[in-house]
Amino acid sequence: MKKLIALVLAVMMLVPAFAMAENVIKIGVFEPSTGDNGAGGKQEILGIQYANSLKPTVNIGGEEYKVELVIEDNQSVNDKAVTAAASLVNAGVSVVLGSYGSGVCMAAGDTFAEAEVPAIGVSCTNPNVTALCDYYWRICFLDPFQGSVMANFAIQKGSTTAYVLNMQGEDYGSGLANYFVEAFKAAGGTVVGDKAATFPEGTSDFTAYINNAVNANCDVFFAPCSTTYAALIIDQAAAQGVKFPIMAGDTWENSAILSAAKGKEVEVYCSTFFDENDDAAAAAEFVKGFKEWLNADAGNLNNNGGNDIVAAVSALGFDAYNVALAAIEAAGSADSKAIAEALPGVTWDGVTGSIAFDEIGDARKDMAYIKYANPETGAFDFVKTQKVGE
Amino acid sequence: MKKKGNLRLILSLAVVALLYGAAVLVEHTSGSKSMVVTVLQKGAVYALIAVSMNLLNGFTGLFSLGQAGFMLIGAYSYAILTIPMAKRAAVYQYYDGGIVQFTIGLLPALLVAGVMAALFAALIGMPVLRLKGDYLAIATLGFAEIIRAFVQWDAIGPLTNGSNLLKTYPTLKTAMPGNTLLFTFLVVGVCIGLILLLINSTYGRAFKAIRDDEIAAEAMGINLFRHKQMAFVISSFFAGIGGALLAMYQGSLQANGFKSAMTYEILLIVVIGGMGSVSGSILASFLFIACSEWWLRFLDAETMIGNFQVPLLAPGFRMVAFSIVIMVVVLFFRKGIMGDRELWELGSRRQAKGGGRNK
Amino acid sequence: MFDTLLPYLLAGISVGGQYAMIAVGYTLVYGILRLINFAHGDIFTAAGFFMVYLAAAMPPALAIPLVIILTVALGFTVERVAYKPLRSAPRMSIMISAIGVSYLLQNLMWYLTGGLARQYPVLPGLGDSIQIGSASTKVVTLVTPVLTVALVVALVMLIKRTKIGMAMRAVSVDFETAQLMGIKINNVISFTFIIGSAMAAIGSLLYFTNYTAVTPTIGAMPGLKAFVAAVFGGIGSIPGAMIGALIIGICENLIKAAGLTMFSDAFTFALLIIVLLVRPTGLFGEKTTEKV
Amino acid sequence: MSEQKNHDTSVLRLRDITMQFGGVVAINNLSLEVNQGEIVALIGPNGAGKTTAFNCITGVYEPTNGEVYFHGKPIAVNHPQGKMAKQYAGINGDAYRGKKPVVYSPDKITKMGIARTFQNIRLFKSQTAFENVLIGTHLRRTSNLFTAAFRLNAKEEKAMREKAAALLEIVGLSGEADELAVSLPYGKQRRLEIARALATEPSLLLLDEPAAGMNPQETDELGEFIVDIKNRFNLTVFMIEHHMNLVMDISDRIYVLDFGKQIAEGTPEEIQKNPDVIAAYLGVEEE
């Protein structure tokens, strides 16, 4: 034991020694790579790493600085998130990117705020992340927006009765579900049980929920939850031969959903930040380059779930990195406080649309992409863009 | 003998005072945001929780796995009572600001956190403590899960905010600005001090008697149920305070974090420190937190040394390495760091104690 | 009314049968070692992952036996490495070891698989949809109860009729005496783990065909529920474990049908606590007294 | 019953005690009494049910049928109930029907003043000799959790420690006070168990084979020791013992148990001559 500790200490002292190079600016990556959201977190990291591989340096006041990514695992758990954040601050990062999942961001917010290190939320959609923390910005859209978008979409498809389901204790899902219920009811629809049903963590058997929906004659099933449960819900709904469409938020834009839906009689829609088949040149270029980059490295491919389908969170990660670089250039300094001051003024034309921040620190985004998981081709088909007001 | 005892007490107090001084110094030299301070904070909070669990599992011989549940109650009690009125509308956004429309001070709230946890423990203990051994373990584990499900229940959302986050309550950083570490150490120190006083009182001796041999203890006139209940309630009281401190440390609170995995982690800390050793639990807590959340982090990073990719290092490897170390301790160093002795006993005449107890 | 309830009942019987397969492992091990094998749920998960990886490389006819063999090897290894050295240690130590193994297996699976949910391969025939009355379900739903009953009967016969079964019964009644009578304790215990793991492997084939995502922690909840089923049925009793599992499976689905979805897991634990308090020996267990 | 109470001068009285486990009758209709200041021995071959009788008295078991009185007060009353009503294989099954069953847990019995030792020594393994005795004093505490934790009971704590030290002195273990109990030699462990029992301030002491595993010399010393503490603490002693020399030396009266039934009762002289006892013991010795 003693020897082990001695060894560990020795290694720790060596690690910073390697990093000692001239003109380095550190960007912290605050993401889960283990725990409930580990899979999504890793895809987000991939986007950031890809962006880093394209732009490994940044120009600060006329000098080229090498960008070093410091990646810390927050383990998807709030109490571990605090040490992960402190560890980033301790490593001397100038700006932080992440995380996947809102809970860990809120837990870490204080640490970043106190150290005056700005953090850019990549795919944390809970309003309180930025509302309750002055040092948090965000480049994705928020739960209220996404919930309303999907509710509008469902109403436009002619749905009148919705069954809403999310995992208990998950703030992402419950937030989204709540806003969906609100918007759906406001648009004249009814929600089974008048509110969202929840399932306990670790559930595999969703047949009862699906039966409940069938028995209530619902014509749309909204289930914002992680991909693990999504795959189960889709598979079991197909086995029970349901007729209604199943919808969810951005997490479902994932290869797990495609393989679950493939070859089955089921209609699955999700909203997302980004469309892989977007015609915009920036997006098309990103998708092509990212796929090549993924396929070139077995480790990266494995982290992406074993295939080269581009997840929306990877695109967001890519944009987040670029926003951070733009902020650093705008600040003309590696000082975190200067970057924080420059950040509100930064705009960036990203692959997920153009990004500019409002006074709370959220990106002004007003458009989501609706996608359909095509069971025949095993790919996402672009359906339409959807705005709240439509 | 008495004089020697006094000397030892004074010496121990001096060491504790020294440590506290060092803590203040560390915070003032490296700043409250530094990794050392963060790890020390969490280590201290975990130390209290581990000691409270040790009181039950190590000193009274009750194998309980309900710690996370009682921490949850403590954490929620604290947070619900201290969120500033002005922030309630934002926090309870789905529940119109919640039904609790008052706040109380930080220290009273900590006390309430402990009392609430203790109350629940008294209720749960009545049926559960009649069970033995692993049945007790699984029943307490079950209760912790039920508590977690209940807190997240939509119907009591106005009280607990359902499964959404609680935030904006006073945290360790705001409790005693500039001296967060001192504050943490003071609260934890007082609590552990109380536990130590209890363990060394006649009641503590009765707990140990129950651990060593229930039948003989009962024959000595010790009311098993009442004493188990006492240990259970007291342990939960301090677990509740520990939970509140953890909430203060995190700065935000969600029932979902208090899973059985958390209880297992604390149990492993107790085992590594030594069942029946307060100082062992304290040492192990700091060591555990420092290793798992700080020193071993490099195991998760894919590292290149020159052109050579260090094998195995990839996300998740830290946890694997860590669980292997734990298994080695469990299998080969069953007494943990301290066995059932205390740091301050190391010089004393008492012989090494046998590792095997119960039967 | 029946039409409405039918799908819930079908799902309940099916998932109950799958819990039963896991519960057998718990009840056998507890009967002999008085150990709640916390790692059993993770061995079940591992069986799921074995299938995911093997099915990608070979036809199911080859993969299925190989999955069972690998799972058995894993169960056997866990016992030898983590439980055997603690044979004479206090009960608490061995239980802590079980928790440690569970922690290790989950972390290891996470590390090796990357943590993303893996799609379980479709087993020919079992995964197809069929129509029963007004309900539509998978073939596996019907196969599960039949297979469960058949395996439980076979297992009971094995324990009643064969020499090794007799040895198992002897060891579960009195560990030390059985040892004195010349029974090779370690072989019997290993055999118990082998049977338990094989059942868990078969259970995983059925379970994951029904619920097609495999993640490193997916086995924890079914594992705990199966343990509750074992206690409910009377620990040590194989038919008891099966009946307990079926009851839990059905109740769980009926509770969800009633709309109390978030308490479906809490219900299982509440049931456990009630059983332990009212009838600690379960439905079919026997009472034992402690010697003073 | 009231008649019983008024005229009962005995310390301990068992009436028609039967203890049945499933189909096995461990004690069959045992009646006996132990009077103030007596040393009474309960002897019999292995498996005769002696320890079971102790367990019925101390509340570890609930007797299936019969009554136990301590200083005239019922401390255990039962008759065959429930499933046992059908299975009952003893006699006098109806004698106590209608009486309200009385059950006390072992700690309550100890509190009333019955202390015991165990056949297979049950000392607190991780505690020193001194601490073992100290735990015995916990029963008569007046402090509660808070006064004890905050050391408001310093006086009482001091008295407890003094008492424990004095008891160790009496059993001759002062020198080993800080040794771990389990590291003591066998004979000393037996004495320590007695000291621990005395710390609960009993009026009746139950000794379960106090001389087991001792050599003849130690046994003799133990006999003197038992008489000594009996006088010193004004005790009544009821003991199970196999060493016949010890039993004959110090007992006032002896009860003999065989297969759960009482086969003889009397003074040592009477028992030595009793043909039934001789038969029972010879039978055992032949094995």
**Given B209, B220, B340, which is nearest D200 (Cβ)?**
B220
Question: A244 and A131, same structural domain?
Answer: no
Instruction: State the nearest Cα–Cα gap between B26 and chain C, in angstroms.
Output: 34
Instruction: Tell if the CB–CB gap between C253 and A202 is shorter than 8 Å.
Output: no
> Which tokens in the block code for residue B313?
């290092």
Instruction: State the nearest Cα–Cα gap between D174 and chain B, in angstroms.
Output: 14
Closest CA to A358 of A343, A339, A336: A343
Instruction: Tell if the CB–CB gap between C292 and D118 is shorter than 8 Å.
Output: yes
Local confidence band at B357 (pLDDT 50, 70, 90 cut-offs): very low
Does the CB of A371 have a partner CB in chain B at under 8 Å? no
Is residue A12, in this structure, part of any structural domain at all?
no
Residue A117 CA, chain-centre distance (Å), reads 21
Instruction: Tell if the CB–CB gap between D124 and B217 is shorter than 8 Å.
Output: yes
Residue A11 has pLDDT above 60, yes or no: no
Local confidence band at D164 (pLDDT 50, 70, 90 cut-offs): very high
Lowest mean per-residue pLDDT among A66-70, A171-175, B203-207 = A171-175
Question: A173 and A101, same structural domain?
Answer: no
Q: How many beta-carbon pairs under 8 angstroms link B with C? A: 120
Does the CB of D167 have a partner CB in chain B at under 8 Å? no
Looking at residue C234, its pLDDT comes to 86
Lowest mean per-residue pLDDT among A276-290, A303-317, B268-282 = A276-290
Residue B158 has pLDDT above 80, yes or no: yes
Other C-beta atoms lying within 10 Å of the C-beta of residue D162: 11
List A residues 41-80 in contact with C (Cβ-Cβ < 8 A).
Answer: 42
Does the CB of C292 have a partner CB in chain D at under 8 Å? yes
Local confidence band at B235 (pLDDT 50, 70, 90 cut-offs): very high
Residue A218 has pLDDT above 70, yes or no: yes
**Chain A contacts of C142, Cβ < 8 Å?**
none
Average pLDDT over residues C135-156: 88
Instruction: Tell if the CB–CB gap between A202 and C11 is shorter than 8 Å.
Output: no
Sequence ranges of the domains in chain B:
8-257
Instruction: State the nearest Cα–Cα gap between B199 and chain D, in angstroms.
Output: 8
**Chain B contacts of C101, Cβ < 8 Å?**
327
Distance CA A233, CA A218 (A): 16
Instruction: Tell if the CB–CB gap between D60 and C289 is shorter than 8 Å.
Output: no
Average pLDDT over residues C268-276: 86
**Closest residue of chain B to D111, computed from CA coordinates:** B221
Task: Give the global pTM.
Answer: 0.88
Query: Angle at the Cα of C145 (from C139 to C150), degrees rounded to 5?
Result: 120
Give yes or no for a contact between A271 and A150, defined as CB atoms under 8 angstroms apart: yes
CA-only gyration radius of chain A, Å:
21
Other C-beta atoms lying within 10 Å of the C-beta of residue B196: 18
Residue A361 has pLDDT above 90, yes or no: no
Local confidence band at A29 (pLDDT 50, 70, 90 cut-offs): very high
- Chains D and C contact (Cβ–Cβ under 8 Å for 3 or more pairs): yes
Is residue A261, in this structure, part of any structural domain at all?
yes
Looking at residue A250, its pLDDT comes to 79
Instruction: Report the percent of chain D where pLDDT is more than 90.
Output: 64
Looking at residue D2, its pLDDT comes to 42
Average pLDDT over residues D90-114: 90
Question: A210 and A66, same structural domain?
Answer: no
Domain count, chain A: 2
Instruction: State the nearest Cα–Cα gap between C8 and chain A, in angstroms.
Output: 6
Residue A266 CA, chain-centre distance (Å), reads 25
Question: A178 and A236, same structural domain?
Answer: yes
Instruction: Tell if the CB–CB gap between B90 and A72 is shorter than 8 Å.
Output: no
Local confidence band at D283 (pLDDT 50, 70, 90 cut-offs): low
Three-state secondary structure call for residue B339: coil
Looking at residue A140, its pLDDT comes to 83
Phi-psi region of A197 (alpha: psi -120 to 50; beta: other; left: phi over 0): beta
Average pLDDT over residues B151-178: 85
Is residue A90, in this structure, part of any structural domain at all?
yes
Lowest mean per-residue pLDDT among B175-189, C18-32, C76-90, C250-264 = C250-264
Is residue A320, in this structure, part of any structural domain at all?
yes
Looking at residue B351, its pLDDT comes to 42
Instruction: State the nearest Cα–Cα gap between D110 and chain C, in angstroms.
Output: 16
Domain count, chain C: 1
Does the CB of C1 have a partner CB in chain D at under 8 Å? no
Local confidence band at A193 (pLDDT 50, 70, 90 cut-offs): confident
C-alpha torsion angle, residues D38, D190, B200, C97 (rounded to 10) = -130
Residue C116 has pLDDT above 90, yes or no: no
Q: What is the DSSP string of chain D?
A: -HHHHHH--EEEEEEEEEEEETTEEEEEEEEEEEETT-EEEEE-STTSSHHHHHHHHTTSS--SEEEEEETTEEEEEE---THHHHH--SS-TTTTTTSPPB---HHHHHHHTEEE--SS----TTSBHHHHHHHHGGGG----HHHHHTTTTHHHHHHHHHHHHHHHHHTT-GGGTTSBGGGS-HHHHHHHHHHHHHTT--SEEEEESTTTT--HHHHHHHHHHHHHHHHHTT-EEEEE---HHHHHHH-SEEEEEETTEEEEEE-HHHHHH-HHHHHHHHHHHH-
**Chain A contacts of C217, Cβ < 8 Å?**
202
The amino acid sitting at D75 is I
Question: Average pLDDT of chain A?
Answer: 84
List A residues 160-219 in contact with B (Cβ-Cβ < 8 A).
Answer: 168-171, 174-175, 178, 195, 198, 200-201
CB-based burial, D43-76: b 16+ in 10 Å, e otherwise = bbbeebbbbbbbbbbbbbbebbbbbbbbbeebbb
> Which tokens in the block code for residue A122?
């990549």
Looking at residue A7, its pLDDT comes to 59
Does the CB of D122 have a partner CB in chain B at under 8 Å? yes
Give bridge partners of residue A274 from the DSSP assignment: none
**Chain C contacts of A373, Cβ < 8 Å?**
none
Looking at residue B124, its pLDDT comes to 92
**Chain B contacts of D141, Cβ < 8 Å?**
202
Looking at residue A4, its pLDDT comes to 61
Question: A230 and A376, same structural domain?
Answer: yes
Give bridge partners of residue C6 from the DSSP assignment: none
- Entry field: residues in chain C: 292
Q: Which is it for the CA torsion A316, A322, A326, A332, positive or negative?
A: positive
Residue C183 has pLDDT above 70, yes or no: yes
Residue C1 has pLDDT above 80, yes or no: no
Instruction: Tell if the CB–CB gap between B330 and C104 is shorter than 8 Å.
Output: no
Question: A148 and A128, same structural domain?
Answer: no
**Chain D contacts of C292, Cβ < 8 Å?**
51, 55, 60, 118
Question: Average pLDDT of chain D?
Answer: 89
Distance CA C264, CA C254 (A): 9
Question: A325 and A378, same structural domain?
Answer: no
Residue A288 has pLDDT above 80, yes or no: yes
Instruction: State the nearest Cα–Cα gap between C29 and chain D, in angstroms.
Output: 27
Residue A169 has pLDDT above 80, yes or no: no
Q: Domain range for residue A137?
A: 23-141+283-356
Residues A87-105 have pLDDT tens digits of 898 888 999 998 888 888 9
Give yes or no for a contact between C292 and D60, defined as CB atoms under 8 angstroms apart: yes
Contacts (Cβ under 8 Å, ≥6 apart) of A198: A165, A166, A167, A168, A174, B152, B154, B163, C261, C262
Is residue C182, in this structure, part of any structural domain at all?
yes
Residues B26-46 have pLDDT tens digits of 888 877 667 888 899 999 999
* Alpha carbon distances (Å) from C153 to C146, C238, C239, C249: 11, 9, 8, 20
Looking at residue A277, its pLDDT comes to 60
Give yes or no for a contact between A48 and A67, defined as CB atoms under 8 angstroms apart: no
Residues B330-354 have pLDDT tens digits of 898 888 888 888 887 775 544 444 3
Is residue C287, in this structure, part of any structural domain at all?
no
Local confidence band at A54 (pLDDT 50, 70, 90 cut-offs): very high
- Chains D and A contact (Cβ–Cβ under 8 Å for 3 or more pairs): no
Chains near B (3 or more Cβ pairs under 8 Å): A, C, D
Give yes or no for a contact between B253 and B170, defined as CB atoms under 8 angstroms apart: no
Looking at residue A356, its pLDDT comes to 87
Local confidence band at B355 (pLDDT 50, 70, 90 cut-offs): very low
Contacts (Cβ under 8 Å, ≥6 apart) of A226: A36, A37, A40, A167, A170, A173, A251
More confident residue, A21 or A109: A109
**Closest residue of chain A to C1, computed from CA coordinates:** A215
Distance CA D190, CA D212 (A): 9
Average pLDDT over residues A283-308: 84
Q: Domain range for residue C99?
A: 26-220
Residues C17-58 have pLDDT tens digits of 999 999 998 998 888 888 889 899 999 999 999 999 999 889
Is residue A86, in this structure, part of any structural domain at all?
yes
Question: A205 and A174, same structural domain?
Answer: yes
CATH number at residue A199: 3.40.50.2300
Query: Angle at the Cα of C184 (from C178 to C186), degrees rounded to 5?
Result: 105
Chains near A (3 or more Cβ pairs under 8 Å): B, C
Contacts (Cβ under 8 Å, ≥6 apart) of C147: C17, C202, C206
Instruction: Tell if the CB–CB gap between B356 and C115 is shorter than 8 Å.
Output: no
Question: A351 and A217, same structural domain?
Answer: no
**Chain A contacts of C116, Cβ < 8 Å?**
39, 42, 227, 256, 305-306
**Chain A contacts of C212, Cβ < 8 Å?**
231-232, 235, 260
Instruction: Tell if the CB–CB gap between C111 and B326 is shorter than 8 Å.
Output: no
Closest CA to C123 of C212, C216, C22, C218: C212
Residues D221-269 have pLDDT tens digits of 999 999 999 999 999 999 999 888 899 999 999 999 988 899 999 999 9
Question: A174 and A250, same structural domain?
Answer: yes
More confident residue, B314 or D119: D119
Which of A214, A235, A313 to probe the C interface (max C CBs under 10 A)? A235
**Chain C contacts of B358, Cβ < 8 Å?**
90-92
Instruction: Tell if the CB–CB gap between B331 and C272 is shorter than 8 Å.
Output: no
